Amino acid sequence: MNNMVIDLRGCSEDELIRICQEIGLKRFRAIQLFQWVQQKAVRTWDEMNNIGKGDRQALRSHLHLYPLERVREQRSEDGTRKYLFRLEDGETIECVLMDYARTSSRDRHTVCVSTQVGCAVGCAFCATGLEGFRRNLTVAEIVGQVLDITHFVRQEDPEFQVTNIVFMGMGEPLLNYDQVLQAILLLNHGQGLNIGMRRMTISTSGVVPRIIQLAKDNPQVGLAVSLHAAQDKVRNDLIPMNRRYPLAQLMEACQEYTQITHRRITFEVALTAENAKREEAQALARLLRGQLGHVNLIPVNPVAGTGMERPDPELMRRFAQVLEDAGISVSSREERGVDIDAACGQLRRQWEGELK
């Protein structure tokens, strides 16, 4: 066994079994350890009270446990909570918990997870994109966001369970592909938080080769595509990724994705005062003809420095009507946490601004 210290929160159960075997501990220790971290969401070794001190000491010399530091937490009137977490190297990321009361017996608690520090894609409407790319998150840091939110909320509500995950926070998940897929396996694990594959959704700006790869590697997980415009000349300005993978290629990949997975793709369309127009809606209807999908309209959150303005609700309604008339399934995303800067990257920008 080498002396490299491994991130405990990023370890699979099999890796922990292997490590335990190598240091002379029984298999059941690995399973206990996995449950403490991935199911009970503890943040310290001392809380693992069914693992003897000696064994804990042996494990600590091979495994590193670093909980994220909660730098700031904002709570919205609608129940949305937004967290700013500091990572071990001092970088900060955002993460949002949205609580949706449902008519059925169980509540839905969705965590919006970040996958990178900053983002290289540089979408015109996004506060994260304005800051540029810093680095990919590790598996431990991706899973850690869900674990730490679980830990903090359970201090008030011991029964709390995250039910859904959207990889829609800071960063382009498909540009940190391997880590995101491993994090999904951990979050889905039966001895962990046990979040169903179909309750997790990856949102992409359109990394075409990875969309097809995802269909083959994990056809169960959901896919959302940030479409935002149906014409290349408009989308090129909103999402620079479109210059590399224009709409024709993107839609071809989406067709292939649905052929492999038989799953409906969610197409996200952020509407601004500028693009909520009839011609855009008609172009979108033409683009999506024959595609198994659903359109989610999102009124853009105003972000300082982007010059974007929220559209009039009547314009949004008319936009949706054009799509419905063309037989396309459409909904408008409920606005969450508008009073707490819930758009991705805003809290981090504000906090970094205060430090300057």
Query: Applying CB under 6 A, which part among 42-50, 104-112, 116-124, 193-201 lies near ligand SF4?
Result: 116-124
Q: What does the alpha-carbon distance between residue 159 and residue 222 come to, in Å, rounded to a whole number?
A: 26
Per CB under 6 A, 126 contacts ligand SF4: yes
Q: Which residue number, 41 or 211, has a Cβ lying nearer to ligand SF4? A: 211
Q: What does the alpha-carbon distance between residue 63 and residue 350 come to, in Å, rounded to a whole number?
A: 34
Per CB under 6 A, 320 contacts ligand SF4: no
Q: Does the annotation count 94 as an active-site position?
A: yes
In SS3 terms, 109-176 reads as: EEEECCCEEECCCCCCCCHHHHHCEEEECCHHHHHHHHHHHHHHHHCCCCCCCCCEEEECCCCCHHHH
Task: Tell me which of 171, 192, 206, 299 binds ligand SF4, using CB under 6 A.
Answer: 171
Per CB under 6 A, 341 contacts ligand SF4: no
Q: How many angstroms separate the Cα of 27 from the Cα of each of 21, 31, 34, 41?
A: 7, 7, 11, 20
Query: What minimum distance in Å lies between the beta carbon of 238 and ligand SF4?
Result: 9
Task: Tell me which of 205, 218, 261, 296 binds ligand SF4, using CB under 6 A.
Answer: 205
Q: Is 248 exposed, middle or buried (0-12, 13-18, 19+ CB in 10 A)?
A: exposed
Per CB under 6 A, 112 contacts ligand SF4: no
Q: What does the alpha-carbon distance between residue 131 and residue 119 come to, in Å, rounded to a whole number?
A: 7
Contact 81, 336 (CB under 8 A): no
Per CB under 6 A, 301 contacts ligand SF4: no
Per CB under 6 A, 67 contacts ligand SF4: no
Q: Is 336 exposed, middle or buried (0-12, 13-18, 19+ CB in 10 A)?
A: buried
Q: What is the CA radius of gyration of the chain?
A: 21
Q: Which residue number, 163 or 236, has a Cβ lying nearer to ligand SF4? A: 236
Q: Which residue number, 128 or 145, has a Cβ lying nearer to ligand SF4? A: 128
User: Which residue among 11, 13, 94, 268 is the active-site one?
Assistant: 94
Per CB under 6 A, 123 contacts ligand SF4: yes
Per CB under 6 A, 119 contacts ligand SF4: yes
Query: What minimum distance in Å lies between the beta carbon of 169 and ligand SF4?
Result: 8
Q: What does the alpha-carbon distance between residue 4 and residue 138 come to, in Å, rounded to a whole number?
A: 16
Closest CA to 191 of 59, 42, 33, 55: 33
Task: Tell me which of 67, 79, 122, 246 binds ligand SF4, using CB under 6 A.
Answer: 122
Per CB under 6 A, 10 contacts ligand SF4: no
Per CB under 6 A, 129 contacts ligand SF4: yes
Q: Which residue number, 122 or 219, has a Cβ lying nearer to ligand SF4? A: 122
Residues in a beta bridge with 73:
83
Query: What minimum distance in Å lies between the beta carbon of 64 and ligand SF4?
Result: 28
Query: Applying CB under 6 A, which part among 120-128, 157-165, 298-306, 319-327 lies near ligand SF4?
Result: 120-128
Q: Which residue number, 111 or 344, has a Cβ lying nearer to ligand SF4? A: 344
In SS3 terms, 69-104 reads as: EEEEEEECCCCCEEEEEECCCCCEEEEEEEEECCCC
Per CB under 6 A, 172 contacts ligand SF4: yes
Query: What minimum distance in Å lies between the beta carbon of 15 and ligand SF4?
Result: 30
122-153 burial, b at 16+ Cβ within 10 Å, e below that, comes to bbbbbbbbbbebbebbbbbbbbbbbbbbbbbb
Query: Applying CB under 6 A, which part among 19-27, 60-68, 117-125, 150-158 lies near ligand SF4?
Result: 117-125
What is the set of active-site residues? Answer: 94, 344
Interface residue list for ligand SF4 (CB under 6 A): 119, 121-123, 126, 128-129, 170-172, 205, 344
